[in-house]
Amino acid sequence: MSSNYRLLVKNAKQVVLICSNGEKYMTKHAMQNLCVIENGSVVIGSDGLIKAVGPAETIRAQYPETSFEKVIDATGMCVLPGLVDAHTHPVWAGDRVHEFAMKLAGATYMDVHRAGGGIHFTVEHTRAAGSSELLASLSSRLTRMQRAGTTLVECKSGYGLELQTELKMLEVIEEARRKLPINISSTYCGAHAVPKGKTVAEATKDILQVQLPRLKQQMSAGSLRVDNIDVFCEQGVFDLSSTRSILQAGKDMGLNINFHGDELHPMNSAQLGAELGALAISHLEEVTDEGIAAMATARTAAVLLPTTAYILRLPQPRARDMLDAGVIVALGSDFNPNAYCCSMPIVMHLACVNMRMSMLEALAAATINAAYALGRSHTHGSLEVNKHGDLLILNTTRWEHLIYQLGGHQELIRYVVIKGNIVCDNEKTMNL
């Protein structure tokens, strides 16, 4: 007999809701006061949405005779919302392990880029790769992220830098969206680098006059869904004025502005993003005080990427200054061939140790605020009624272990659930 209820998770030692009043993001002190229920339960309906969440006693009384398709007894365990990864580049061919060695020996990111490596190396290999090869590697990367607790992930194009390959990448992302349970927010990043043989002006013209019109056509025809537009606004890549025209054109097509800014040099990207009504800006290692103030006022989220600063030995993003100023701080893995990290728990750990965020702030940044950066915080990022039933169940009595145990997430995460379906069951019993 079919039930109206897909899943009951009962008697968890802790249920971390994050928030409980429909907040779309969290800033300042609110991030230090996340909503946690001791001894709680969660009910997910057959539509995959949360129907109830609260103290186990209350839920038991509310659903006395109900049958559930599946019941998980979470006694001694913790329940958290699925993690949200707000910045990844997961579609590409050809790894760059050789460049990791060069960087360890002292080369900077831009040394490698100018020598024709970096993004250019990946572009060459991605242009040559077939869609099925790209889909296979994307699927295994997304599955790996899902095992590490990510249930909503942003995925960028940007290793084509010309129409055909950018479209190929976006179509591969679209195919993954149809085939895999993980939620995807897709981003057109045709301005990720200036292609070899073109000037910035020529590349900008190609994006404005060739790539974006074709994207618009496919989006209107319903053959492609794209959510965000991105530009790498950086010295030697796209300057402020070309960035402005590309982002504005994307916004005019209905895309959310979500771009790379102020990473290696202060470019006033933060001020530009605030002025254009950007939903999010990533990196910001070199943001100025004025940029921070502008982002706080405009409610533009800062997507901080602790793996980038770690791998490239850059100055850390000024997370504390941003948090104190009331900026909406989110986190992302920045998964790409330069920063090969699929794990948001590791990202949260780095954010705490290197960027001086508290564990509560890091969790809010990797859930509700990352969902806000993707325009999805009305449906994702917290355990509240009518939101998607996306959650993690941890083999531990305190949720903080997910951040504290560096690299321990594989043993800690028992189940990953998306829309009430168990998509990962890590059936091991161990002494933690």
CB of 297 to ligand NIG, least distance (A): 25
Nearer to ligand NIG, 300 or 338 (CB): 338
CB of 118 to ligand NIG, least distance (A): 5
Contact call for residues 356 and 350 (beta carbons, < 8 A): no
CB of 367 to ligand NIG, least distance (A): 21
Applying CB under 6 A, which residues contact ligand NIG?
A: 89, 118-119, 122, 232, 260, 263, 308, 334, 336-339
Which of 7, 71, 12 has its CA nearest to residue 36?
12
Nearer to ligand NIG, 340 or 404 (CB): 340
CB of 282 to ligand NIG, least distance (A): 6
Encoded amino acid at 340, one letter: Y
Which of 79, 174, 93 has its CA nearest to residue 128?
93
Query: Closest residue (Cβ) to ligand NIG?
Result: 338
Nearer to ligand NIG, 6 or 89 (CB): 89
CB of 175 to ligand NIG, least distance (A): 22
Nearer to ligand NIG, 117 or 250 (CB): 117
Encoded amino acid at 359, one letter: M
Cβ contacts of 241 within 8 Å, gap of 6 or more: none
Nearer to ligand NIG, 328 or 341 (CB): 341
Q: Which helix (H) or strand (E) holds 241?
A: helix 240-252
CB of 99 to ligand NIG, least distance (A): 9
Nearer to ligand NIG, 308 or 395 (CB): 308
Structure tokens at 417: 């659930």
Question: 3-state class of 15 per DSSP?
Answer: strand
Which of 77, 85, 150 has its CA nearest to residue 401?
77
Residue 417 and residue 391: Cα distance in Å, rounded?
5
Nearer to ligand NIG, 11 or 187 (CB): 187
Nearer to ligand NIG, 45 or 291 (CB): 291
3-state helix, strand, coil in the chain (%, to 5): 40, 25, 35
CB of 304 to ligand NIG, least distance (A): 11
Contact call for residues 352 and 403 (beta carbons, < 8 A): yes
Structure tokens at 3: 């039930």
Structure tokens at 52: 């109830």
Residue 73 and residue 319: Cα distance in Å, rounded?
38
Structure tokens at 364: 């809010």
CB of 28 to ligand NIG, least distance (A): 27
Structure tokens at 295: 């982002």
